[in-house]
Amino acid sequence: MLEIKKVYHYYGKAKALEEINLKIEEKALDAVIGPNGAGKSTLLRVISGLEEPDRGKIEFLGERIDELKPHRIAKKGISHCPERRKLFYDMTVMENLRLGAYTLKDKKKFHELLDFIFEIFPRLKEREKQRAGTLSGGEQQMLAIARSLMSNPKLLLMDEPSLGLAPKVKKDIFKAIEKIKQEGTTTLLVEQDAILAMEVAEYIHVLEEGKIEMRGSKEELKREPRIKEVYLGI
């Protein structure tokens, strides 16, 4: 579904991404793990068009997208749930969800997606008329994910969904991510909490200092001594 070919990205003279090669298969749930500053969020921003790669190509469903504007990429079927949520805080839960569906023309599909979202995030149903800025941190993260799903994406990009959340809320969020996977939405998850990422992802890419240093199935990486020591604490 997605193929990234030798992508580089710089902030001034600083190299944020270096020769990134990455493939995501349809209906897969892949995770990118790595320390702060490794380039994980930059990678998602480059895919969704918020940053332009300085070199390399990105293809989605066989079509090159790295030269397209973000709104054009969104219309192709890529939805980006950003780090730190970026909600419309003065709008209600329902208004945020409707804005997430701005590319969706099928009213029946809109209601199907809404039903699914309220099934995996029942608290959003309870708070649909409440302003987003008055929700708890966990509820805001639920809303950010839900808003990203309302466009009925072919590919969902999720950036640090566990950031700043209590352990119990993290588990709730990742249970929902598993249900999204079961529904067949292809997902690329960026996550600093490697243990959580490895619970849900089928395939893991390890990004360090802008380079993919290691990749493999979660079973393969769990056997790697360095992964066990640095990321899993065992």
What pLDDT, in 10s, does the model give residues 171-223?
Answer: 999 999 999 999 999 999 999 889 999 989 999 999 999 999 999 998 999 89
Task: Say what the pLDDT of residue 234 is.
Answer: 65
- Which residue range is the domain that position 6 belongs to? 2-230
Total domains present in the chain: 1
Q: Strands (DSSP E) along 45-88, which ranges?
A: 55-60, 63-64, 78-81
CATH number of the domain at 31, please: 3.40.50.300
For residue 134, what is the DSSP state?
G
Task: Say what the pLDDT of residue 54 is.
Answer: 96
Tokens of 93: 């839960």
Tokens of 194: 């490697």
User: What mean pLDDT is predicted for residues 49-70?
Assistant: 96
